[in-house]
């Protein structure tokens, strides 16, 4: 199975900050990576797919980059609505696997 490791596990930041979350795959997954945002008690929401393509309707302050084994999700200027947990997911091979999550909290 392909292991996905996110860092950090928790990130404290303020409104207006630029933040970056990293996701590393245990083997190359090309660009077959998605990022999701999840708020408590809610379903995940797709933000980015194919490593860097912004899902329709997602604000442009979100961006993704990377290929192979290292990927990043960047939020250029944090808004109050962005405080949530973020997951990366690989779909290069079965089983589909997710990172353990990064909780973004208010400093």
Partner 1 sequence: EVQLVESGGGLVQPGGSLRLSCAASGFTFSDHYMNWVRQAPGKGLEWIGLSRNKPNSYTTQYAASVRGRFTISRDESTNSLYLQMNSLKTEDTAVYFCSRQKGAGDMDVWGQGTPVTVSS
Phi, psi of 66 (to 5 degrees): 115, 165
- In terms of Cβ atoms closer than 10 Å to its own Cβ (0-12, 13-18, 19+), residue 17 is middle
Residue 97 Cβ vs partner 1, minimum distance, rounded to whole Å: 7
Q: What is the DSSP letter of 84?
A: S
Residue 96 Cβ vs partner 1, minimum distance, rounded to whole Å: 4
**99 belongs to the binding site for partner 1 (CB under 8 A):** yes
Q: Which is nearer to partner 1, 18 or 39 (CB)?
A: 39
Q: Are 80 and 15 in contact (CB under 8 A)?
A: yes
Closest CA to 62 of 107, 20, 101: 20
Member of 34, 59, 70, 76 binding partner 1 (CB under 8 A): 34
**83 belongs to the binding site for partner 1 (CB under 8 A):** no
What residues contact residue 72 under an 8 Å CB cut-off, 6+ apart? 20, 21, 22, 23, 64, 65, 66
Residue 53 Cβ vs partner 1, minimum distance, rounded to whole Å: 9
Member of 20, 24, 52, 98 binding partner 1 (CB under 8 A): 98
| Footprint on this chain of partner 1 (rule: CB under 8 A) | 1, 32, 34, 36, 38, 42-46, 49-50, 55, 87, 89-92, 94-101
């Amino acid at each position: 199975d392909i292991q996905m490791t996110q860092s950090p596990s928790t990130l404290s930041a303020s409104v207006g900050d630029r933040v970056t979350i990293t996701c590393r795959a245990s083997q190359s997954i090309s660009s077959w990576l998605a990022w999701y945002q999840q708020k408590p008690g809610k379903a995940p929401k797709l933000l980015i797919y194919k490593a860097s393509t912004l899902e329709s309707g997602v604000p442009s302050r979100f961006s993704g980059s990377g290929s192979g084994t290292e990927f990043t999700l960047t939020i250029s200027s944090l808004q109050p609505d962005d405080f949530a947990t973020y997951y990366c997911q690989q779909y290069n091979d079965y089983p589909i696997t997710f990172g353990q999550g990064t909780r973004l909290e208010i400093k």
